[in-house]
Amino acid sequence: MAVGVQSEDSPQRRRVRRAALLWALIAIAFYAGFIVLTLVRARK
Amino acid sequence: MAETHAPAASHDDHDHKPHGWRRWVYSTNHKDIGTMYLIFSCTMFFIGGAMAMLIRLELFKPGLQFFDPQFFNSLTTMHALIMIFGAVMPGWTGLANWMIPMQLGAPDMALPRLNNLSFWILPFAFTLLIGSLFVPGGAPAGGWTMYPPLVLQTGAAFPMLIFSIHLMGASSILGAINVIVTIMNMRAPSITLLRMPLFVWTWLITAYLLIAVMPVLAGAVTMLLTDHFFGTTFFTAAGGGDPVMFQHIFWFFGHPEVYILILPAFGIVSEVIPTFSRKPLFGYEAMVYATASIAFLSFIVWAHHMFTVGMPLAAQLFFMLTTMLIAVPTGVKVFNWTATMWKGSLSFEPPMLFALAFLFLFTIGGFSGLMLAIVPADYQYQDTYFVVAHFHYVLVPGAIFGMMAGVYYWLPKWTGHMYDLKLAKWHFWLSTIFVNVLFFPQHFLGLAGMPRRIPDYAVQFTDWNMVSSIGGFGFGLSQLIFPYLIWKCVRGGERVGNKAWEGAHGLEWELPSPPPFHSWTEPPSDAVIARGAEH
């Protein structure tokens, strides 16, 4: 096996993928959340 | 587990690397990507620095000397955007790329291809931003804060500005995800969270901040874009929108951004001072908790940037007190750095000199920050040169000196050569003297009432402006030593062993200098980790 390379479905790879997706979703939530917040405030 | 491998010659067979342009364009190697980030950051530092020198040239005398006011405003706006997003943030990401895997016993970053993408977004973002200087209407000139309605008057450069901010944001978010995932998943088994080096800790907290606030900036500029092109009125009073709302959203991003720029410097100073004091860091856990406290507080102080727009007294009191509260964890840090040096066996190599200058001069920036936190005083200081002096003390002898300390600390590890120590000391002394000549008089100018962001000023401000400009030219020119010194060090010099500094500790010093292309191909053993932690 090449240096530092693990099989596609090793537990560590799965953990890495899951964590990366989670943080990307959190970032997207902040992006959309603040636009929605501004809209909601503007309606008042 | 067998004794591991600081992998040197035994791993030559694994040390294959691509050659030519493919090595850099397709790179997934944390060190190569780190190097590209650092070169990019240095390039932007000189472009932004050249703009700063043009600003100081115009301000050398009262009256309009060289530039029309619109172009002068473009210079201040572009200088800020380039320095913040192009020089300081990529500089920290470069250091993170180089050092985090090496300090944690990991073979690389967790997401190497994402790492490549994060970097290669940046040249496009900054080509777009700098290219805006050459379009009709000129570059953005409304300040880096992009307040509407002023920013909506930008000409053809407006969509270029917004798109470049989106690209920079995307790059930072991807980089931050990579850092968090690497730290949480790729540490050597026995490196628990509270055994991580302080540089890794400060970067972990910085990455959390980035993920929380960069999307907020992206949201704000998206709304500016739709206000400009699609008829929405998020921030347009005529359509029922609220321009002050933009300021709240911007500073909800903007204040944590200040800590994004400075926290990694705290980490580096926490590595450098123990090394050159030959003592362990005083109060490691307190440093971690202080960093986390600063990050938490950074989310609840944003309105101190906008006291004068008008807000209820209770809000003013809340933001004043929370801002002052930041002095507590920051004071813990300054105390611990000082206590680390207490009765230490100190020596004053260039990284230590930069760390010490950081300690003194960043504290000056911190004190003027406390003055600005006091609401009635802020009404006087708002939009004067006192503010300019304050944030430049935080960012230049703060963030930039912290970065210099880091580069001078790890450069022998990266290249395998010791650099010219005498030249580095010249760089330090010239930088430290001129940075004070440049920024200290700006306190006086601000207190005397000189407004910021103007190309012309009343004659009574002339003397200190001249002094400040002389400091600016001196500081700018003395930075030329830095790339020359690095170039000289890369080409050759006295060879160094694994441990370039006698008092150094940490896993990176268990690797050869320069480290092999693939660092920790197997996790370091407990024995290696314990040896790395020894003083």
pLDDT in the model for residue B3: 38
Nearest CA in chain A to B222: A35
Task: Please report the residues numbered 501 through 520 in chain B whose beta carbons come closer than 8 angstroms to any beta carbon of chain A.
Answer: 518
Q: How far apart are CA A21 and CA A18, in angstroms?
A: 5
B240: chain A residues, CB-CB within 8 Å: 42
What are B257-309's pLDDT values in tens digits?
Answer: 999 999 999 999 999 999 999 999 999 999 999 999 999 999 999 999 999 99
Radius of gyration of chain B (CA): 23
pLDDT in the model for residue B12: 44
CB of B170 within 8 Å of a chain A CB? The answer is no
pLDDT in the model for residue B10: 41
3 state SS for B15-80: CCCCCCHHHHHCCCCHHHHHHHHHHHHHHHHHHHHHHHHHHHHHCCCCCCCCCCHHHHHHHHHHHH
Q: How far apart are CA B441 and CA B448, in angstroms?
A: 11
Which residues are B384's β-sheet partners?
B451
Are B397 and B440 a contacting pair, CB within 8 Å? no
CB of A20 within 8 Å of a chain B CB? The answer is yes
Are B72 and B140 a contacting pair, CB within 8 Å? no
Residue numbers in chain B where pLDDT is lower than 50: 1-13
A30: chain B residues, CB-CB within 8 Å: 211-213, 215-216, 219
Nearest CB partner across the interface for B215, out of A28, A39, A41: A28
* A-B Cβ pairs (cutoff 8 Å, strict): 79
pLDDT in the model for residue B5: 43
B333 is known as an active-site residue:
yes
pLDDT in the model for residue B19: 84
What are B60-119's pLDDT values in tens digits?
Answer: 999 999 999 999 999 999 999 999 999 999 999 999 999 999 999 999 999 999 999 999
Q: Is the pLDDT of residue A2 over 90?
A: no
pLDDT in the model for residue B525: 85
Q: How far apart are CA B78 and CA B141, in angstroms?
A: 8
What are B409-451's pLDDT values in tens digits?
Answer: 999 999 999 999 999 999 999 999 999 999 999 999 999 999 9
- The contacts of residue B444 (CB under 8 Å, 6+ apart) are B464
Res. A6 pLDDT band, cuts 50 70 90 = low
Of B125, B117, B127, nearest to B26 by C-alpha is B117
3 state SS for B207-254: HHHHHHHHHHHHHHHHHHHHHHHCCCCCCCHHHCCCHHHHHHHHHHHH
How is chain B split into domains, by residue range?
31-63+104-191
CA distance readout (Å), B93 to B261, B288, B356, B368, B415: 11, 20, 23, 28, 19
pLDDT in the model for residue B216: 96
Q: How far apart are CA B234 and CA B241, in angstroms?
A: 5
B177: chain A residues, CB-CB within 8 Å: 20, 23-24, 27
B255 is known as an active-site residue:
yes
pTM above 0.90, yes or no: yes
Nearest CB partner across the interface for A4, out of B108, B220, B223: B108
